[in-house]
Every structure is written in structure tokens, then in C-alpha cells.
Amino acid sequence: FSATLNQDLIVFFNKYLQKFVTVDLTEKQISKEEIEHVFIPTKNKDKNQLLYELLNIFQPYLALIFVNTREKVDEVAAYLGNCGLKPGILSGDLKPRERRQVLKRIKEGSYQYVVATDLAARGMDIVGVSHVINYELPADLEFYIHRTGRTGRMDFTGTAISFYDYEDDDYVKNLERRGLKCAYKALKDGALVPTKIRSAKRGLSEKEKALKEIQARIPLGKKVKPGYKKKRKQLIDKELRKMKRAYIDAQYRKQTNRKNKG
């Protein structure tokens, strides 16, 4: 039994299990309606300062702050500590006994903020999470869904907040294509206010930039031989597929490295 199936598990089941049944209970939704998904542009600002301001605005009952590496866990927790807060940490550096102790203190309500990696928080049933904050977006969209699914449970509402930059535009677009309702807000004068959608202040998407670059390498002259336009399109499509494969390979390596560090 698996509560969720990613592509890797599906490939595994198809290869090693002759008969298995998939029961889809999601109703085509990747997130519950009780969860509000807020995206905040960093605009090259200090993310630690943004995080501190955000926590002061929301005053969460329990906030899980997700980062991608153990080193970042220590950095963010140290910054919050210097600001007078007392965050808990869940990272791969903790021994099993220390992990159990942190989880016990979370259940007792001793922590209002917990900084964690995906790997360290895996398998932990943490009740009462009012806010999930993606200090760093995970490379894999499935991890985004797992992270944010830790709030909005037991008929309570929840808020998922993600810091993003304009280079993350395609990432957010992919979430929206899968049906996620995204709200775009910005910190202004100590409050969180609606802002223009991410694309309003940016140029071409990464795919559009790649297409433009390839088209420049394979020019179309004023006078061309019959069949050249079709051949040119085939060459452009081939280059785009190569770039896409290279991108997927790079993301896979990045995610593998993050898992090893978590």
C-alpha cells in the first residue's frame, strides 16, 4: 500500500509486480481546498529577513519551514535563534534518539517553528501544522505536494507559503497546470498584500528562451530550397528534445544530491 504514487514507483510496480490495483481517491486534485497556496517573490532580498517578517505577520500555531540541505537547516535555525525565536530542527545530522526527542517536544507544543529537510521529516506524523513554508522550493513537484499536504488536515484550514524568484516561473506554471490555485503576494510595510502575477515582471520563459536561441543558430534565410523549412523545424524540435533531456538529467542529479544531504 502506498498513499501516493510518483513516477518512479509506477515504473517499479510495472516491472516487478504482475498484478496491482491503483485506487485514485484524489478526484484529480493535487491539494485540498482547505490549503491556501501563497507565493512570495524574493526579488534578490535576504530570505532570512523575509522569513522573520513573515513569521511575525502570521504568528503560526506551528510552522514547518522546509529547506533542501542540512547546512541550510543550521543556517536558518541559527538566524531565527539570533532573532530571539526558538526553532526546532529536523535534519539528517540528528541521531534517532534526538529525532524522537524533537518530535516529542513538537507534540508537547514546545516549538512554534521547526526547520526541516524532506528526508528528515519523512514518516513523521506531525499534528497541528498551521503553516508550511518553502524557504526553498523542492526540485520535484511531488515533494511540493508532500510538504504542503502536512497542513490543512482534520478539516482545519492551512497555509502553504513559498519563496520564489522569476527563474522559478516554469516550476510554478507546472503546478498551475496540474490544477493548483496559486495566490501571489508580497511583503509591504509589515503586511502581506496581493501582487501582480509572476510573469508581469519577467521576459520569456525558459522554454521560449531556449527556442529563440536554437532558432538563431539555425537561421531561416529569405530564399531557401524546397523542404528546408520542414527540415529546419525538425532540427529545432530535435535540439529542444536534447535540451529537455539534459534539463531532466540535471534536475534528477540535483534531487539525488539533495536527498543524500538531507
The pLDDT tens digits of the residues spanning 95-126 come to: 999 999 999 999 999 999 999 998 877 777 88
Claim to verify: residue 192 and residue 254 sit in the same structural domain: no
Has residue 6 been placed in a domain?
no
Claim to verify: residue 101 and residue 126 sit in the same structural domain: yes
Average pLDDT of the segment spanning 229-244? 79
- Please report the pLDDT score of residue 262 as a whole number: 62
Alpha helices in 44-168 (DSSP H): 47-58, 70-82, 96-107, 118-121, 141-148
- Please report the pLDDT score of residue 26 as a whole number: 47
- Please report the pLDDT score of residue 222 as a whole number: 62
Has residue 17 been placed in a domain?
no
Segment 29-55, tens digit of pLDDT: 677 888 999 999 988 789 999 999 999
CA distance to 115, 127, 160, 187, 258, per residue, from 85 (Å): 12, 21, 21, 20, 27
- Please report the pLDDT score of residue 11 as a whole number: 60
Of residues 254 and 150, more confidence is placed in 150
- Please report the pLDDT score of residue 160 as a whole number: 97
At residue 258 the predicted structure's pLDDT band, cuts being 50, 70 and 90, is: low
- Please report the pLDDT score of residue 231 as a whole number: 82
Angle formed at CA 257 by CA 91 and CA 175, multiple of 5 degrees: 85
Claim to verify: residue 105 and residue 196 sit in the same structural domain: yes
- Please report the pLDDT score of residue 13 as a whole number: 60
Claim to verify: residue 219 and residue 196 sit in the same structural domain: no
pTM beyond 0.75: no
Average pLDDT of the segment spanning 154-173? 89
- Number of domains, the chain: 2
Has residue 19 been placed in a domain?
no
- Rounded Cα distance between 185 and 162, Å, is 10
Q: Considering the chain, what percentage of its residues have pLDDT values greater than 90?
A: 45
Nearest-CA neighbor of 199 among 79, 22, 39? Answer: 39
Domain boundary among 183, 201, 219: 201
- Please report the pLDDT score of residue 8 as a whole number: 58
Task: Say which residues have a Cβ less than 8 Å from residue 72's Cβ, sequence separation at least 6.
Answer: 135, 136
Average pLDDT of the segment spanning 226-250? 78
Q: What is the DSSP letter of 122?
A: T
The per-residue pLDDT of the chain, averaged, comes to 82
Give the CATH number of the domain where residue 90 resides.
3.40.50.300
At residue 21 the predicted structure's pLDDT band, cuts being 50, 70 and 90, is: low
Segment 187-223, tens digit of pLDDT: 888 899 998 765 444 455 566 667 777 777 777 666 6
Q: Where in the sequence is the domain holding 216, given as residue range(s)? A: 206-261
